[in-house]
Structure 1
């Protein structure tokens, strides 16, 4: 493992050694707030620690799921504080972004928000970001808590059990899922590039149409 990853492992290991399962919960709460911190590394490490008797397997799952929920609630609250009106005002000032884009996003979330929050908890990077639109759209808090807890429980249990069963090879989970995280980031980059290119092309066409409309001929 490279040195930055080693430093993170040592930090999380120190938390778990000092605090046990609550330390793993704190690490996962921070991972939700700062997506570059990898749950793909923390959770298998918690499972490995449980396999060595450093904590209870049930406690590891319970505390990390609680940590996931705490981090998600902070981001939900951020979205709620921003609110629809502020997001629309920000969008209106951003280049290449139209308020209609916000409206379409709201319509999409109204149709698919429940599935997005639940399944989003199992997608690298996206699992943190999905809490913000849930807050902006003021998804009922009990529903948000239930979906976030359920999705996090599935994800956390799978990765903790993998680390528990793999033992000394627990880091293989992070290596394979790291490829998934990279693929997600690449897809997001492609989507953003497509958005920018298509928006520039549309504005260029609108500008040409406007000039043609003013042509005295």
Structure 2
């Protein structure tokens, strides 16, 4: 995966960075840690500007974020009601909880989107609840852009500083991603065990 990313960035420059980050957002297994770190290494070698590499990565990721947001918004939470009513136990929510989530999201959605964009594993999923719960596009766009820019800048700068040792970025972020994923799985199992639908 890493070699393919390196070749794409070497051959396509900023467009390659943007395209890879778009793919990473649509297909999360493609790691942004590698993409932006390699971009930072290229900037350190003088092959591209660090600022433009960050801007390209942010733009590509944001395009993917918007695709997910629009798809989720077009679907809408109301259309999921029969599915939630039928499989609520395994989704660990009933319709009353969905309505509570809507109220919470109206009050805290901006911070949720901003912070979520800067968390490994979670960052690619943030657009879905924002779209389903019909968060204002302007608010979504601004919060997402700031969070995404922060994430891409941190990774690119790490690659810029580490240069050929850019794999060390994944050595740090990998365990964090695994810890977040494990927490999500354990939290889900706990909710399944404790789930009691509202009467």
TM-score bracket for the superposition, by shorter chain length: over 0.9
The alignment status of 1:146 with 2:142, answered yes or no, reads: yes
Q: Determine the C-alpha separation between the residues in 2 that align with 1:102 and 1:137.
A: 9
* Residue in structure 2 matched with residue 214 of structure 1 by the alignment: none
The answer as to 2:49 corresponding to 1:49 is no
Are 2:150 and 1:190 aligned?
no
Matches within 5 A, 1:56-67: 56-67=49-60
**Which of these residues, 7, 17, 30, is aligned with residue 14 of structure 1?**
7
Residue 99 of structure 1, aligned match among 83, 95, 99? 95
Number of residue pairs the alignment of both structures matches: 195
In the alignment, structure 1 segments of 5+ residues that lack a partner are: 1-7, 207-217
Deviations 1:112-135 (A, max 9, x none): 100011111100121111111111
Q: Secondary structure at the match of 2:123?
A: helix
Query: Shift in Å at residue 103 of structure 1?
Result: 1.6
Q: Give the secondary structure class of the aligned counterpart of 1:55.
A: coil
Q: More displaced, 179-188 or 35-44? A: 35-44
**Among 20, 41, 61, which residue is 1:68 paired with?**
61
Distance across 1 between alignment mates of 2:140 and 2:175: 29
1:175 maps to 2:168: no
| Structure 1 residue 108: Cα displacement | 2.1
Deviations 1:12-39 (A, max 9, x none): 1121122102101111111111222211
Separation (CA, whole Å) in 1 of partners of 2:158 and 2:116: 20
TM-score norm. by structure 2 comes to 0.93
1:83 equivalent in alignment to 2:76:
yes
Contact 1:35 1:128 in 2 (8 A): yes
Aligned equivalents of 1:51 and 1:95: distance in 2? 51
Shift of 1:95: 4.6
Contact 1:45 1:171 in 2 (8 A): no
Is 1:122 matched with 2:115?
Answer: no
* Higher RCO (C-alpha 8 Å, min separation 6): 2
Distance in 1, Cα, partners of 2:142 & 2:150: 12
- Aligned Cα RMSD in Å? 1.5
1:164 aligns with 2:164: no
Segments of 5+ residues of structure 2 without an aligned counterpart are: none
State the TM-score, normalized to the length of structure 1: 0.85
